[in-house]
C-alpha cells in the first residue's frame, strides 16, 4: 500500500506498520541543516530520494514486532582532505529499525541485534531520521581515490636545509674541533 496522505514529518509508526504502509519522496539537501554543515558548495538541485516501508512481524505467543525499512540515495559534495578540492560522494542508506515500547527493552535488544532498536514514540519525523542516517553515512575522512590535480608542496624544504645550521655545529666550534660532514 502506498500512502500519499501520511505526513512523513509526523508519522504514526504503529498505525503505519499495522497497515503495511509505504512512503517515498524527494527532499532537498539544503533543508537538512545539520547535514549541510558538512557539505561544500550549494547545489540548489541536490536532493535525497527515499523510500520507507512499515510492517508488523508476528511473534508466536507475543506481541507483533514493529519494523520500518528506510532506503535512500543522495550524492553530496564534500571537501577532499588530501587536495582540498570539492568531490562528489554517494551516500546510500539501507536501514531497518525495530520499535519497542520501553527504553529498557531497547537497550537490552540493541546489544544483541544488528538492526537499530528505537523506542516507539507517538510520532516520528522521518526527515530527521533520514538526516541522521545520512550524517552517519558520511566518510570520516573524505578523499578522492585519485585527486584531479597533482599535489604541490607549499614550500621547498631543500632551501631551508641549506640555511639552517646543524644544531651541534656551535658545540664543535667550542671544543675547537672542525665540524664533521653534515654538521654545518
Q: How far is CA 1 from CA 15, 66, 73, 82, 182, in A?
A: 13, 17, 22, 47, 79
For residues 134 and 96, give the distance between their C-alpha atoms in angstroms, rounded to a whole number: 14
103: cell is 527504553
DSSP state at residue 133: H
DSSP conformation letters of 84-102:
--EEEEEEEEEEEEEEES-
Task: Quick: pLDDT tens for 146-173.
Answer: 998 877 766 665 555 556 667 777 777 7
Domain assignment present for 119? yes
For residues 168 and 148, give the distance between their C-alpha atoms in angstroms, rounded to a whole number: 43
111: cell is 546489544
Supply the pLDDT for residue 5. 46
Determine the structural domain holding residue 184 and report its residue range: 153-184
Give yes or no: residues 20 and 68 share one domain.
yes
Supply the pLDDT for residue 159. 56
Residue 176: pLDDT above 90? no
Give yes or no: residues 160 and 133 share one domain.
no
Q: How many domains does the chain have?
A: 2
The answer to whether 71 and 51 have CB atoms below 8 angstroms apart is yes
Give yes or no: residues 55 and 121 share one domain.
yes
Task: Quick: pLDDT tens for 76-125.
Answer: 999 999 898 999 999 999 999 999 999 998 898 888 888 899 999 989 99
Give yes or no: residues 161 and 99 share one domain.
no
Domain assignment present for 4? no
Amino acid at each position: 500500500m502506498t500512502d500519499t496522505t501520511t505526513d512523513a514529518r509526523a508519522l504514526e509508526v504503529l498505525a503505519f506498520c499495522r497497515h503495511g504502509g509505504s512512503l517515498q519522496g524527494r527532499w532537498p539537501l539544503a533543508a537538512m541543516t545539520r547535514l549541510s554543515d558538512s557539505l561544500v558548495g550549494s547545489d540548489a538541485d541536490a536532493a535525497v530520494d527515499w523510500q520507507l516501508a512499515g510492517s508488523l512481524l508476528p511473534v508466536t505467543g507475543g506481541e507483533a514486532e514493529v519494523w520500518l525499512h528506510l532506503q535512500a540515495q543522495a550524492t553530496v559534495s564534500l571537501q577532499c582532505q588530501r587536495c582540498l578540492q570539492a568531490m562528489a560522494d554517494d551516500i546510500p542508506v539501507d536501514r531497518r529499525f525495530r520499535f519497542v515500547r520501553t527504553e529498557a527493552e531497547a537497550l537490552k535488544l540493541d546489544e544483541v541485534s544488528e538492526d537499530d532498536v528505537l523506542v516507539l514514540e507517538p510520532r516520528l519525523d522521518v526527515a530527521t531520521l533520514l538526516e541522521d542516517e545520512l550524517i552517519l553515512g558520511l566518510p570520516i575522512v573524505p578523499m578522492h581515490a585519485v585527486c584531479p590535480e597533482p599535489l604541490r608542496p607549499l614550500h621547498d624544504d631543500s632551501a631551508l636545509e641549506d640555511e639552517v645550521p646543524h644544531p651541534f655545529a656551535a658545540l664543535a666550534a667550542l671544543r675547537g674541533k672542525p665540524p664533521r660532514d653534515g654538521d654545518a
